[in-house]
Amino acid sequence: MGWLSGWLRRRGPRDEALPLYDAVVARARRPHWYLDGAVPDTLDGRFDMVAAVLAMVLLRLEQAPDGTDASVRLTERFVDDMDAQVRQIGFGDMVVGKHVGKMMGMLGGRLGAYRDGMAAPDDGVLEAALVRNLYRGVAPGADALAHVRGELKALRRGLDSSSVAELMEGRLA
């Protein structure tokens, strides 16, 4: 039985990104997003906020020469979590894959929109992406939108000073 228990405790490659993924989720669950930023504190709103923070980290990783493997591991962690969340809600095996695939498509769309928004010299591009993706087309007040825009931009700038190794340890700037 000794070899079996050791085998069961062995960490797989996806587990390497667990500290980073946990840090992403913790950052996305900070109350200021939902209070000052008026992100809906609903299942959809929490998903959208995790996707926004995750997108900032993925954008950082795609700039790093050694970030590809970390990006893949982090994305795999996201898929595992979304699969577990969908199952916990009560969806059966027949539709879990479809829902997780839809969530991956949503993450991909947000990643592109936030990449464009972060690169644009005009804050209006990022704000439009936030209204479309984070607020699902219903614009919040100007102060709430400015709060989220500013916090995401600050997060993204802070991530630039972190190495991939630091990020994989779950240390978000």
Name which of 149, 69, 139, 147 is nearest 114 in CA terms. Answer: 149
Q: How far is CA 83 from CA 7, 90, 101, in A?
A: 24, 11, 10
Q: CA 31, CA 53: separation in Å to the nearest integer?
A: 14
- Amino acid identity at 53: V
Query: Tens of pLDDT along 33-78?
Result: 999 999 999 988 998 999 999 999 999 999 999 999 999 999 988 8
Q: CA 114, CA 149: separation in Å to the nearest integer?
A: 10
Range of the domain at 33: 13-167
Q: Is residue 7 part of a domain?
A: no
Q: Is residue 1 part of a domain?
A: no
Q: Is residue 78 part of a domain?
A: yes
Q: What is the DSSP letter of 34?
A: H
pLDDT of residue 43: 85
Q: Are 22 and 150 in contact (CB under 8 A)?
A: no
pLDDT of residue 85: 67
pLDDT of residue 107: 82
Q: Is residue 4 part of a domain?
A: no
pLDDT of residue 79: 79
Q: How far is CA 84 from CA 91, 97, 126, in A?
A: 10, 11, 31
Query: Tens of pLDDT along 69-81?
Result: 999 999 988 877 7
Alpha carbon dihedral 165, 45, 90, 74, in 10-degree steps, equals: -10
pTM of the model: 0.85
CATH of residue 158 = 1.10.357
Name which of 158, 163, 139, 155 is nearest 65 in CA terms. Answer: 163
Per the structure, the count of domains in the chain is 1
Q: 117: part of which helix (H) or strand (E)?
A: helix 93-119
